Chains A and B, each alone.
Chain A
Amino acid sequence: MLLAAVQPTTTWYLVLGALLFTIGAVGLMVRRNPLVMFMCVELMLNAVNLTFVTFAKALDDIGGQTIVFFVLVVAAAEVVVGLGIIVALMRRRPGATADDISVLKG
């Protein structure tokens, strides 16, 4: 009953989006496994998507949802390229972490 009485408001969705984005961002910075870092990037993207949809609903503006479609398409393309790079990397150096591939450092 108590739970049913609580209606989720716009703020809740925005807070959730911000949380997801932070988890993704922190994960990207602290983890070393390329695949996990990649998933963190996806998490950040989807956190932004959630924010867009929330605003679209709250402001009654279809534009936010339209942008989400664009983000999804770009993310799909990014996944293709990114995973390709990771697969190629793992083939050459099995078990490599992101810190191992730093040959371009100054």
Chain B
Amino acid sequence: MVELVWLIPALPLFGFLVLLLLGRRLGEPLAGWFATLMCAGAFVASVIVFAGLYSKPEHERQFQQILFDWLPAGGLKVQLGFLVDPLSVTMVLFITGVGALIHLYSIGYMHGDKDFSKFFVYLNLFAFSMLMLVLGNNLLVTFLGWEGVGACSYFLISFWFTDEANASAGKKAFVTNRIGDWGFMTATFLAFSATGTITYFANGSTPGLLNEETLATLAAVTATGIAALLFFGAVGKSAQLPLYVWLPDAMAGPTPVSALIHAATMVTAGVYLMTRVSPLLAHGYTWLPATIAIVGAITALFAATIAVAQNDIKKVLAYSTVSQLGYMFLAVGSGAYVAAIFHMVTHAFFKALLFLGSGSVIHGLHGEQDMRKMGGLRKFMPITAVTFIIGWLAIAGIPPFAGFWSKDDILLAAWAHGGSAMWKAVWFIGFVTALLTAFYMSRQVFMVFFGEPRFEEEGEHAVHPHESPWTMALPLVVLSFLAVVGGALNLPFTEDTKFLDKWLAPVVEAGQRSFDIAGVAQTALAIGTAVLCAVSIAVAAQIYLRHKRKPVEPEVLAHAWYYDESITAFVGGPGEAAFEQTAAFDKGIIDGAVNGVARIVQWGASKLRLAQTGYVRNYALGIAVGAFILVGLFLTRAGG
């Protein structure tokens, strides 16, 4: 059954091609239904592949399907092949599952848009690229998907490109991602030059980069170098410090895009990549995982503080996403790969839910995104309100919702990492972030769904909020169900309930750290965190629900610590001068050298052409002289 893996990316690709050619003719809503069907079909295929893989014994759960030799160039042999193992199947399941729900949601959300069918062209192309990314059996196929999702992200952020802000947000995302891509490409080159292969695991005569035989010959410094460069790529794609700036602006795109690409799937590609190459990380120096954990922790805290002071309903969720991605990197750095994937999956459930919920609110309020002009919406849109509240409790870390279990797993891994004070500090940052998360999400829920309505109910600009159509409500309900029960994937009670731990064990065994922590301490930590999160919610209720205290929303946080402004100031000021110098260097020295060579050749040729006189007698003389020289040469040679 695992042989059906090719179907998983093939269906969205087919959908993309059909919609590209016939999309306009299919029109609304047929194009949307077709795209949804393709994504749902991919989900069914994923389930079949999952069942096939699950039925195998634990250590035979790896299957590679080679479609053809893609680039047979000298020593470099790159196949177009798929790698099916517990990790990629987990990714594929939630990508296609959440993806199909968001496709369905988009049918309602994009209703009436003049580019309705084009939207689904991009969505299906995105699904295809994302599946190639996670299914690729080597770095280059993964990179193909990596660039594909980047391009789709660009198309979809600037989907309503007639607005200047949307177009430049798309450009910002694209350029920032390119900076990260540099790391990915360089890592691929380094891997090839050091080991001669970029395939993950050996198949046939192709050696595998991550196999023990290859790693044994690889110097620790090289392994660290490859992993560090890949991490740099992951920082760009997964919006970590210092390259996170594009993600908040990416909210310019339609809300389903924010849910699918900028919350559930694409931005988690970096975490997937680091988990995939976990044997490399385990083989390299230990400072790299520590760096990853620190970057993740600082990003988590940094973004969470910003989210506290945002007023745009989607901006809050965007910074929250950056923060949650920081958690995943914290987990990766701590060697808790399973926790990272666990949080990735539950995050995909509840963050997609929250984004779709915010989309439903925006839809119901005819495009209003400012939370200061909302309030009391739970009366007007009950389904959205209830599902959004479930998502809020899940992300806030309230048991028994999904986010509690996965976040707890990560914090526990950092706490139990042992040894130095650094890991305790990392744990503490993660802990503070958890409290902040509960706080800013509560603020959002109270501002949007509770209190008095702050939109105009009467008069010329009156807004009449309404519940969204069933195509939008159904995905909300399904995702809220998943946000409730998602934690069941990996319950920490007994060994039997740790499904994800056992399932992913063969993939991450090289890098996974097993931590010993007494059950009592574990329970105390979990309960302590949950209680403090509840306190955090109560504080938010005091401020935003009962208005007992004045909100603390410093200007510096509303401006995201002036990070964007600093970049603008730098790039516009001293940066610009440096770039001008670089441009002058490029024009004068680099271009000068190239043009200089051309000019020398031109000058030489202009002199040399004079030898062509056009007189037959000159040519004849040339032939005669040449003949004499040749004969002379032969004679002397023969004589010698």
Residues of A within 8 A of B611 (CB): 106
CB of B573 closer than 8 Å to a CB of A: no
Q: Are A102 and B617 in contact (CB under 8 A)?
A: no
A104 to B612, CA, bound (A): 8
Nearest Cβ in chain A — how far from B276, in angstroms? 63
1/0 per residue A21-41: CB within 8 Å of B?
000010011100000010000
A102 to B616, CA, bound (A): 8
CB of B609 closer than 8 Å to a CB of A: yes
Residues of A within 8 A of B624 (CB): 25, 29
Q: Which of B609, B613, B620, B621 contacts A102 (CB 8 A)?
A: B613
Q: Are A37 and B614 in contact (CB under 8 A)?
A: no
Q: Are B613 and A29 in contact (CB under 8 A)?
A: no
Q: Are B613 and A30 in contact (CB under 8 A)?
A: no
Q: Are A28 and B610 in contact (CB under 8 A)?
A: no
Nearest Cβ in chain B — how far from A100, in angstroms? 10
CB of B615 closer than 8 Å to a CB of A: yes
Q: Are A30 and B617 in contact (CB under 8 A)?
A: yes
* CB neighbors of B among A36-64 (8 A): 37
* CB neighbors of A among B592-640 (8 A): 608-617, 620-621, 624
Q: Are A106 and B617 in contact (CB under 8 A)?
A: no
Q: Are B612 and A29 in contact (CB under 8 A)?
A: no
A37 to B618, CA, bound (A): 13
Q: Are B614 and A104 in contact (CB under 8 A)?
A: yes
Say which size band chain A's interface belongs to: 10 to 19
CB of A105 closer than 8 Å to a CB of B: yes
A77 to B624, CA, bound (A): 23
Nearest Cβ in chain A — how far from B419, in angstroms? 80
* CB neighbors of A among B66-114 (8 A): none
Q: Are B612 and A105 in contact (CB under 8 A)?
A: yes
Q: Are A103 and B614 in contact (CB under 8 A)?
A: yes
A30 to B621, CA, bound (A): 10
A99 to B618, CA, bound (A): 10
* CB neighbors of B among A72-106 (8 A): 98-99, 101-106
Given A106-B609, A106-B610: A99 and B615 within 8 A (CB)? yes
Residues of B within 8 A of A30 (CB): 617
A83 to B433, CA, bound (A): 97
A99 to B613, CA, bound (A): 10
| Size of interface on B: residues with Cβ below 8 Å to A | 13
Given A25-B624, A29-B621: A98 and B609 within 8 A (CB)? no
Nearest Cβ in chain A — how far from B386, in angstroms? 87
A103 to B615, CA, bound (A): 9
In the complex formed, the residue of A with least CB distance to B611 is A106
Q: Are B613 and A105 in contact (CB under 8 A)?
A: yes
Residues of B within 8 A of A102 (CB): 613-615
Q: Which of A25, A28, A29, A105 contacts B614 (CB 8 A)?
A: A105
In the complex formed, the residue of A with least CB distance to B610 is A106
Residues of A within 8 A of B613 (CB): 102, 105-106
Nearest Cβ in chain A — how far from B162, in angstroms? 58
Nearest Cβ in chain B — how far from A98, in angstroms? 5
Q: Are B612 and A98 in contact (CB under 8 A)?
A: no
Q: Are A106 and B615 in contact (CB under 8 A)?
A: no
Residues of A within 8 A of B620 (CB): 25, 28-29
Residues of A within 8 A of B614 (CB): 101-106
Given A25-B624, A29-B621: A98 and B616 within 8 A (CB)? yes
A29 to B624, CA, bound (A): 10
Q: Which of B608, B610, B617 contacts A29 (CB 8 A)?
A: B617
Residues of B within 8 A of A29 (CB): 617, 620-621, 624
Residues of A within 8 A of B621 (CB): 29
Q: Which of B608, B612, B617 contacts A28 (CB 8 A)?
A: B617
Q: Are A98 and B610 in contact (CB under 8 A)?
A: no
Nearest Cβ in chain B — how far from A70, in angstroms? 20
Q: Which has the most chain A C-beta neighbours within 10 Å: B610, B611, B613, B614?
A: B614
A30 to B608, CA, bound (A): 25
A73 to B621, CA, bound (A): 26
Nearest Cβ in chain A — how far from B635, in angstroms? 16
A42 to B621, CA, bound (A): 17
A102 to B613, CA, bound (A): 7
A101 to B621, CA, bound (A): 17
Q: Are B612 and A106 in contact (CB under 8 A)?
A: yes
A54 to B614, CA, bound (A): 37
Residues of B within 8 A of A104 (CB): 612, 614
A99 to B620, CA, bound (A): 13
A28 to B627, CA, bound (A): 15
In the complex formed, the residue of B with least CB distance to A25 is B624
In the complex formed, the residue of A with least CB distance to B608 is A106
Residues of B within 8 A of A98 (CB): 615-617
A104 to B614, CA, bound (A): 5
Q: Which of B608, B610, B612, B616 contacts A37 (CB 8 A)?
A: B616
Nearest Cβ in chain B — how far from A5, in angstroms? 35
Residues of A within 8 A of B616 (CB): 28, 37, 98
In the complex formed, the residue of A with least CB distance to B612 is A106
1/0 per residue B451-485: CB within 8 Å of A?
00000000000000000000000000000000000
Residues of B within 8 A of A105 (CB): 612-615
Nearest Cβ in chain A — how far from B428, in angstroms? 81
Nearest Cβ in chain A — how far from B266, in angstroms? 61
Residues of A within 8 A of B615 (CB): 98-99, 102, 105
In the complex formed, the residue of B with least CB distance to A98 is B616
A104 to B609, CA, bound (A): 11
In the complex formed, the residue of B with least CB distance to A31 is B617
A31 to B619, CA, bound (A): 14
A105 to B621, CA, bound (A): 16
A104 to B613, CA, bound (A): 8
Nearest Cβ in chain B — how far from A88, in angstroms? 16
A98 to B19, CA, bound (A): 70
A99 to B611, CA, bound (A): 15
Residues of A within 8 A of B612 (CB): 104-106
Nearest Cβ in chain B — how far from A42, in angstroms? 14
Give 26 CB contacts A-B under 8 Å: A25-B620, A25-B624, A28-B616, A28-B617, A29-B620, A29-B621, A29-B624, A30-B617, A37-B616, A98-B615, A98-B616, A98-B617, A99-B615, A99-B617, A101-B614, A102-B613, A102-B614, A102-B615, A103-B614, A105-B613, A105-B615, A106-B609, A106-B610, A106-B612, A106-B613, A106-B614
- Other than the given A105-B615, A106-B611, 9 more pairs (CB < 8 A) read A25-B620, A25-B624, A28-B617, A29-B617, A37-B616, A98-B615, A98-B616, A102-B613, A105-B612
Seen from chain B, the residues whose Cβ lies within 8 Å of a Cβ on chain A are 608-617, 620-621, 624
Per CB-CB distance, the 7 closest pairs between chain A and chain B, nearest first, are A102-B614, A105-B614, A106-B609, A106-B612, A29-B617, A98-B616, A28-B620
